[in-house]
Structure 1
Amino acid sequence: MNPKYSPLFRPILLRSGIQLDNRIVMAPMTTWSSNHDYTVSDEEIAYYSTRSNGVGMVVTGCAYVSASGRAFHGGFGSDHDDFIPGLRRLASAIKEQGAKAVLQIFHGGRKCPPELVPNGDVVSASALPLEQSTGSNQIPRALSEAEIQSIIRDFGESTRRAIEAGFDGVELHGANGYLIHQFFSPHTNQREDQYGGSLEKRLAFPIAVVDEVKKAVAEHAKKPFIIGYRFTPEEPETPGITMADTLALVDVLARKELDYLHVSSVDFWSPPRRGGEDSRSRIELIQKRVEESVPVIGCGSIYSADDALKAIQAGVGLIALGRELIIDPDWVEKLKQGKEAEIETKLRKDAQSRLVVPEGLWKIIVSRPGWVPMEE
């Protein structure tokens, strides 16, 4: 290995007591490829196994915690004990390659297609439709307080199932406009009860979920177990989540003694839209805010070895590779072996089979030009 890349391969000890072998994480990405009964498919097992060799930790695509939270065709579930055997296969496939296995759990809220949820009953923090650009005019139903409490418990139960399935941790998906995000955002949360209104009240649901997951870990985990939280730092809408809101969120999360905070970003170096102190990137501002209290995972458009080195030198504890590991599953091993010049940074159109990419994910890649860099 070229010594200049050694910062990427320093071990890191998380608060839970689990040590990661290096600073590189496989980012959570939906594959749209589960079985029709929402169990993990053989395609997904092969896909994750192929990409788990070399990274310190793998965070899976999101598993829904409630039947009302299915946001993806081809997404897998964690809302019933019947899913544990498939989840166990997934955890084992990742861990057999030497990486820690983390199950991302979520509820889709208003982003759930009606045909995927019971009786087409789409729910959210408030009865506000998706933006017109999505092409959907579905208006969700605002959750009752009793239903909110039920979903909070569902996050705890999914955590228990992750423990029983052999995962090393869970990541709470509080990003990308899903239900936890919907409660935190003033754009999607217009409630006037204990779960909405002020910033403090908009934090109530996310923090209740964190507390429920921590409770489940304390009750069911017999060995150290990772808890992470992913969030989107800003929204374009007004009102919407600002950097000031996000810095308040990370203040609260840092006091919750989590193992890491995961910033969801398309570009690691993207600057704040508003509410930031200066011109530094959002991730750098977040890292400055938490300092050493909790590791931050940064991600977004890190393709080459030098991209990764520059990102880790910005001070974050870990970096996540998503699209990069679709393009080149051997990214980490090539870097470790001093073959960084051989890392592929553009996807070949004839490489689906060689790269073990599930059909559902491949179709999405092809249908969204520009999402994953492709050779002409």
Structure 2
Amino acid sequence: MAKLTEPLTFNRGLTLKNRVLMAPMTTKMSFFDGVVTQDEVDYYSMRAGEIGAVITGAANVQEDGKGWEGELGVYDDKFIPGLSKLAAGIKRNGTKAILQIFHGGRMTSSQILRGVQPVSASAVAAERPAAETPREIESEEVAALINNFAAAAKRAISAGFDGVELHGANTYLIQQFFSPHSNRREDEWGGSLDKRYHFIEELVKAVTTAVDESGADNFIVGYRFSPEEYETPGIRFEDTLYLVDHLADLSLDYLHVSLNQADKVSASQDYQEKSMMAYIKDKIAGRVPLIGVGDIRTGQDAEEILSMADGVAIGKALLMDPNWLPKVVNGQEKLIRHELSRFDCEELRISNGVWAFLEQMMPERLY
């Protein structure tokens, strides 16, 4: 088993100085039009320097992909100057900067899109309060969408990032193409499991080809996924093992599982003997690094994840204590901040958007 402080090298040559990454989290810090703010640069920069990499919150690759106010944009060259400041702010003391790119799909609203109807794989509303029925994306629009992801990766290269992460998790558009709940299509992009995977395969190939043909050195491409859905029909863990098995054979640098609990067990009765992360690690079988995640608070928590994964993504703990890693490494864990008050927000560069995220995710640790 690797140690937290050991380097991690990816297929395209990029090396992280240690195995700790900042997990991608919503900040709602960008301007109304998706341009980076100085507050956003300061927030990420404060948490860089000690850890191996920072993965940003999601940046939308199309205007109709915006999921919430204050979200990063990467759908036009006008964003490159701001993104360059963000990448430079993250890349302190050797920390690597990874831009997460996505399309919100049906997980947005016409209000957020200024009157434009959301799109998805099919015209099926999400199972959440006040969800709007999206417009089914036309077949010819799918090719444009894939090209826009590839163009976003090129902009990330131009801005000085070290990689991109395809956000195929948390029920956004990439996942919507794979899910039998949101994808009821009968063309080449939907129907059987193979056809629902087809969009993801073409997307990954387009982005990795664009990166490789760009001539960028040591620029990596990762993919994040959620292992189960609870809608019926929905993604089951067996579907995810199929997905992981196929993704591991593509030209990706890492896979990143999205979990709120590292040892979470599948809802499927066929996969009860160990955690989903452990099953996923076995399915990958060393073909590509796996980044694990799941409410990590202590060094021991992180080490336990490294028994099932190659890297550790830490979210809320780094929000509350940007110096989490040096305190763990130097035997000062008793000094780690585990609770947060409103009075700490200015010091920690925590905006109202981040505070709202914390209120939703861990209200018991706020005061």
Question: Partners of 2:216 and 2:177 in 1: how far apart?
Answer: 32
- 2:311 matched to 1:281? no
Question: Partners of 1:143 and 1:361 in 2: how far apart?
Answer: 32
Question: Partners of 1:96 and 1:37 in 2: how far apart?
Answer: 27
Question: Partners of 1:348 and 1:23 in 2: how far apart?
Answer: 29
- 2:225 matched to 1:231? yes
Counterpart of 1:333, as a letter, is P
- 2:95 matched to 1:99? yes
Partner of 1:347: 340
Partner of 1:199: 193
Identity %: 42
- For residues 149-228 of structure 1, the aligned pairs below 5 Å read 149-228=143-222
Counterpart of 1:186, as a letter, is P
Deviation track 1:65-90 (CA, whole Å, cap 9, x = no partner) reads 00010001110100000000000001
8 Å CA contact 2:205, 2:251 repeated in 1? no
Large movers: runs of 4+ above 4 Å: none
Deviation track 1:249-279 (CA, whole Å, cap 9, x = no partner) reads 0111000031110000010111001164442
Question: Partners of 1:255 and 1:162 in 2: how far apart?
Answer: 24
Counterpart of 1:49, as a letter, is S
Counterpart of 1:98, as a letter, is G
What is the aligned counterpart of 1:336 among 329, 332, 346?
A: 329
Which deviates more, 34-43 or 195-204?
A: 34-43
Question: Partners of 2:2 and 2:209 in 1: how far apart?
Answer: 37
Going from structure 1 to structure 2, the CA distance change for 1:233 and 1:6 (only over 3 Å counts) comes to closer
SS in 2 for 1:320: strand
Counterpart of 1:43, as a letter, is D
| Structure 2 gap ranges (5+) | none
Deviation track 1:74-107 (CA, whole Å, cap 9, x = no partner) reads 1010000000000000100011242110000000
Question: Partners of 1:6 and 1:250 in 2: how far apart?
Answer: 22
What is the aligned counterpart of 1:116 among 101, 105, 112?
A: 112
Question: Partners of 1:372 and 1:81 in 2: how far apart?
Answer: 39
Deviation track 1:233-263 (CA, whole Å, cap 9, x = no partner) reads 0011222111110010011100003111000
User: What RMSD in Å do the two structures reach over aligned CA positions?
Assistant: 1.6
Kindly tell me the number of residue pairs found equivalent between the two proteins.
Answer: 367
Question: Partners of 2:163 and 2:187 in 1: how far apart?
Answer: 32
SS in 1 for 2:3: helix
What is the aligned counterpart of 1:142 among 132, 136, 139?
A: 136
Which deviates more, 45-54 or 266-275?
A: 266-275
Question: Partners of 1:246 and 1:302 in 2: how far apart?
Answer: 23
Question: Partners of 2:106 and 2:2 in 1: how far apart?
Answer: 43
Going from structure 1 to structure 2, the CA distance change for 1:358 and 1:97 (only over 3 Å counts) comes to farther
Question: Partners of 1:97 and 1:205 in 2: how far apart?
Answer: 38
Residue 37 (structure 1) shift: 2.1
SS in 1 for 2:362: coil
Partner of 2:35: 39
Going from structure 1 to structure 2, the CA distance change for 1:315 and 1:114 (only over 3 Å counts) comes to same
- 2:260 matched to 1:266? yes
TM-score normalised to the size of structure 1? 0.94
Partner of 1:358: 351
Counterpart of 1:250, as a letter, is V
SS in 2 for 1:350: helix
Counterpart of 1:245, as a letter, is D
Deviation track 1:112-171 (CA, whole Å, cap 9, x = no partner) reads 22123264221000001121xx32141100000111111100000000100000000000
- For residues 75-94 of structure 1, the aligned pairs below 5 Å read 75-94=71-90
Partner of 1:371: 362
Residue 220 (structure 1) shift: 1.5
TM-score normalised to the size of structure 2? 0.96
Going from structure 1 to structure 2, the CA distance change for 1:164 and 1:45 (only over 3 Å counts) comes to same
Residue 373 (structure 1) shift: 4.6
| Structure 1 gap ranges (5+) | none
